[in-house]
Amino acid sequence: MSGYQTFTDSQLVTLLRDGDHLAYTQIYKRYYYLMFSFSFKKLRDKDLAKDFVQDLFTKLWLKREAILENGNLSQFLYISLKTSMLNFFAHEKVEAKYIEVLKGLALAPKTDHADNKIRERQLAEYIEKQVQNLPKKMKEIFMLSRKEHFTNKEIANKLDTTESNVSHQISNALKILKAKLNILLLF
């Protein structure tokens, strides 16, 4: 491992693209604190900053073959992290609007109870249909999490996968469902 410390970023990326775990570990050691500092300055939340950085390095490993060998690694990491945070903030805005709409509906006078029941049922059917349209594995994980109330660890054990994968699948399912609901709410 000591030899990896002297490698340039370009050399490490070349090794990383070939699946070299030691190169990945060296990149992680070299850039973790810088990425954490950057995200913490923007987010002002230590746990959230750690989550973003962990997600960054997870994506780096999963998408290692797509990284340009001659590219600037630090720039790639900063841009990837910044993009993730911007997406997060955009999602937070959408979620806040959605919550405001729901609050408005909850505070609105209950004039036509039957009409509300019909809309509730239609919304529940729509959500269930969207859940059924999720990719097979994602749907299975989402159903175990939300309908069966399994923990991520229980799901990972049951499906012989990692907790990180379970968390990622649930997060993606929620993103898909929220996007579908936002489109519905616009109309």
The reported pLDDT for the residue numbered 109 is: 60
pLDDT under 50: residue ranges of the chain = none
The reported pLDDT for the residue numbered 187 is: 56
Distance, in Å, from the CA atom of 85 to the CA atom of 53, rounded to the nearest integer, reads 10
Taken as a whole, the chain contains a residue count of 187
Enter the CATH code of domain 109-186.
Answer: 1.20.140.160
pTM: 0.52
The reported pLDDT for the residue numbered 186 is: 62
The domain limits of the chain are 2-86, 109-186
The reported pLDDT for the residue numbered 21 is: 95
Q: What is the CATH topology of the domain spanning 2-86?
A: Rna Polymerase Sigma Factor; Chain: A (1.10.1740)
Please give, one letter per residue, the 3-state secondary structure of the chain: CHHHHHCCHHHHHHHHHCCCHHHHHHHHHHHHHHHHHHHHHHHCCHHHHHHHHHHHHHHHHHCHHHCCCCCCHHHHHHHHHHHHHHHHHHHHHHHHHHHHHHHHHHHCCCCCHHHHHHHHHHHHHHHHHHHHCCCHHHHHHHHHHHCCCCCHHHHHHHHCCCHHHHHHHHHHHHHHHHHHHHHHHHC
In this chain, the answer to whether the domains covering 2-86 and 109-186 adopt an identical fold is no
